[in-house]
Structure 1
Amino acid sequence: MSAQAPSAVILVRAERYTPNPATAADNAFQSDAPAGQSDDATSTKALAEMDALADALRAAGVRVHVFVDEDHTRPDSVFPNNWLSTHAGGTVAVYPMYASNRRHERRTDVLEMLKSCYRVQTIVDYSGLEPDGIFLEGTGAMVLDHVSRVAYTARSHRADTHVLERFCTDFGYEPMAFDAVDADGVPVYHTNVIACIGTEVALVALEMIPDEDRRAQVRERLTVNGRSLIELTETQVREFAGNAVELCGRTPRGGRRYVMAMSGRARRSLLPDQVALIEESCEIVAVDIPTIELAGGSVRCMIAGIHLDRRPAAEPELTEAVEAINEEHPETLDGRDVVLADA
Structure 2
Amino acid sequence: MSKQITNHLMMIRPVAFHRNEQTAVNNYYQKAEENASAEEIQQQALEQFDQFVEKLRSEGVDVTVFDDTPDPATPDSIFPNNWISFHQDGVLRLYPMYAKNRRLERREDIVAGLKAKFKVSDVVSFTNWEQKAAYLEGTGSLLLDRQNKIAYAAISDRTMPEVLEDFCDEAGFDPVTFHALQTVDGKRLPIYHTNVMMCLGEDFSVVCLDSIDDLEERENLVETLEETDKEIIEITEEQKEQFAGNMLQVLGKDDQRLVVMSSAAFHSLSDEQKAQLSKHGKLVHSDIHTIEKLGGGSARCMMAEIFNPLK
Per-residue displacement from partner, 1:184-242 (whole Å, max 9, x unpaired)? 31110000000000012210011111111111111111122322111111100000000
The equivalent of 1:172 in structure 2 is 172
Corresponding letter in the other structure for 2:159: A
Per-residue displacement from partner, 1:239-281 (whole Å, max 9, x unpaired)? 000011111111xxxx211111100000001111111111112
Larger Rg: 1
The equivalent of 1:332 in structure 2 is none
Supply the distance in 1 between the matched residues of 2:109 and 2:141 (Cα, whole angstroms): 24
Q: Does 1:141 align with 2:141?
A: yes
Structure 2 unaligned residues grouped into runs of 5+: none
Q: What does 1:88-237 correspond to in 2, within 5 Å?
A: 88-183=88-183, 184-237=187-240
- Deviation of 1:81 (Å): 0.4
| Cα RMSD after superposing both structures | 1.2
The equivalent of 2:83 in structure 1 is 83
Per-residue displacement from partner, 1:61-90 (whole Å, max 9, x unpaired)? 110000011325111000000100011111
Q: Quick check: 2:2–2:88 contact (8 Å CA) kept in 1?
A: no
Supply the distance in 2 between the matched residues of 1:128 and 1:228 (Cα, whole angstroms): 37
Q: Quick check: 1:2–1:199 contact (8 Å CA) kept in 2?
A: no
Supply the distance in 1 between the matched residues of 2:113 and 2:35 (Cα, whole angstroms): 40
Q: Quick check: 1:97–1:130 contact (8 Å CA) kept in 2?
A: yes
Q: Quick check: 2:259–2:280 contact (8 Å CA) kept in 1?
A: no
Q: Does 1:60 align with 2:63?
A: no
Q: Quick check: 1:247–1:260 contact (8 Å CA) kept in 2?
A: yes
Supply the distance in 2 between the matched residues of 1:224 and 1:132 (Cα, whole angstroms): 36
- Secondary structure of 2:258's match? strand
Supply the distance in 2 between the matched residues of 1:170 and 1:131 (Cα, whole angstroms): 19
Structure 1 unaligned residues grouped into runs of 5+: 312-343
Corresponding letter in the other structure for 1:166: D
Supply the distance in 2 between the matched residues of 1:110 and 1:62 (Cα, whole angstroms): 20
Across the two proteins, how many residue pairs are aligned to each other?
A: 306
Corresponding letter in the other structure for 1:302: M
Q: Quick check: 2:55–2:286 contact (8 Å CA) kept in 1?
A: yes
Q: Quick check: 1:208–1:234 contact (8 Å CA) kept in 2?
A: yes
- Secondary structure of 2:177's match? strand
Q: Does 1:239 align with 2:247?
A: no
Q: What does 1:2-17 correspond to in 2, within 5 Å?
A: 3-17=3-17
The equivalent of 2:38 in structure 1 is 39
Supply the distance in 1 between the matched residues of 2:120 and 2:170 (Cα, whole angstroms): 16
Normalised by the length of structure 2, the TM-score is 0.96
Q: Quick check: 2:81–2:301 contact (8 Å CA) kept in 1?
A: yes
Counterparts in 2 of 1:141 and 1:68: CA distance versus 1, 3 Å? same
- Deviation of 1:151 (Å): 0.8
Counterparts in 2 of 1:28 and 1:231: CA distance versus 1, 3 Å? same
- Secondary structure of 1:29's match? coil
- Deviation of 1:171 (Å): 0.9
Per-residue displacement from partner, 1:309-338 (whole Å, max 9, x unpaired)? 111xxxxxxxxxxxxxxxxxxxxxxxxxxx
- Deviation of 1:109 (Å): 1.8
The equivalent of 1:260 in structure 2 is 259
- Secondary structure of 2:181's match? coil
Q: Does 1:301 align with 2:305?
A: no
- Deviation of 1:2 (Å): 7.2
Supply the distance in 2 between the matched residues of 1:57 and 1:271 (Cα, whole angstroms): 23
The percent of aligned pairs where both chains have the same amino acid is 38
Q: Quick check: 2:90–2:308 contact (8 Å CA) kept in 1?
A: yes
Q: Quick check: 2:13–2:65 contact (8 Å CA) kept in 1?
A: yes
Q: What does 1:283-322 correspond to in 2, within 5 Å?
A: 283-294=282-293, 295-311=295-311
- Deviation of 1:54 (Å): 0.6
Point out 4+ residue stretches in structure 1 off by more than 4 angstroms. Answer: none
Normalised by the length of structure 1, the TM-score is 0.87
- Deviation of 1:147 (Å): 1.6
Per-residue displacement from partner, 1:138-192 (whole Å, max 9, x unpaired)? 0111111112211111111101111101101111111111111113311100000
- Secondary structure of 2:188's match? coil
